[in-house]
Structure 1
């Protein structure tokens, strides 16, 4: 079983989570930020991971610390569950339409953290708590903590909710592909260097 539990406590957030990479998309997520909950539920469902997560953060300030720290904690769980990355496909990508929005997502679990996020989200906020600039913050935090190259490129879209939803759904599918076991080489570390971590 490729599973992990993470507990991360700071002065800004307190996070507990458990992750199963080989799940079915089951989730119980409470971040204190409704829109972030919704996006993480989509990410988990489309990646077919199982995730239980509780975050108590300083949402009375804003959603920034919660969004960033949740990205860090989830990525740490993925890193722990993947171990030395033996047998994974390593790469994943998805071109995902969400009504008028179209977003390309790609990931390389390379050991090197980098996020390139090219989005044109029309509104500054979605709902009452979520600043749309936090989409990029989430993926930067995730990429750095996992050690992965993450690309999100918007091809089309006018509705802010649809654009962001396409990002999280597409990322779930791309990451699900990247962490899947390569049945042709289930015991190999997918790097000519012999290591990824």
Structure 2
């Protein structure tokens, strides 16, 4: 009989005690959700991969500073969100335009209508402010609670709620044509 899986906090303690596999397990547990946040925020697969890698390296190096006040997932996502915001700020200063061929490919083989809807939604999300897009990604897409999203974004819960509300309203306006197409 195998041992029950260790909690995130137990994995951090094991990593501090020299267990080289403990951090790998944290990456396996949280990497997919971190990737989803990064790709929705940065919109380019190369940039998202770099941001996730940078966040994980940063967490690895700073793991001794983790006090355990927040959940490990919240701590990892806070590091990632800060890196994504820094990358977006640097890109704004450089005024770069992404190359179309760098868009994230759809790997599930969705039917044409679903792909078109996904493109519409991604384009609408890109029109939101970074703050609104991050709040919606964390709460609506990833399923974080408002309180956890507030911790990750380092803002008050009311700020997360208002960013989500404003973002949802704008998305409803931008994507209204999708609902009209159903009728």
TM-score (norm 2): 0.33
More helix as a share of residues: 2
TM-score (norm 1): 0.32
More strand as a share of residues: 1
* Structure with bigger RCO (C-alpha 8 Å, 6+ apart): 1
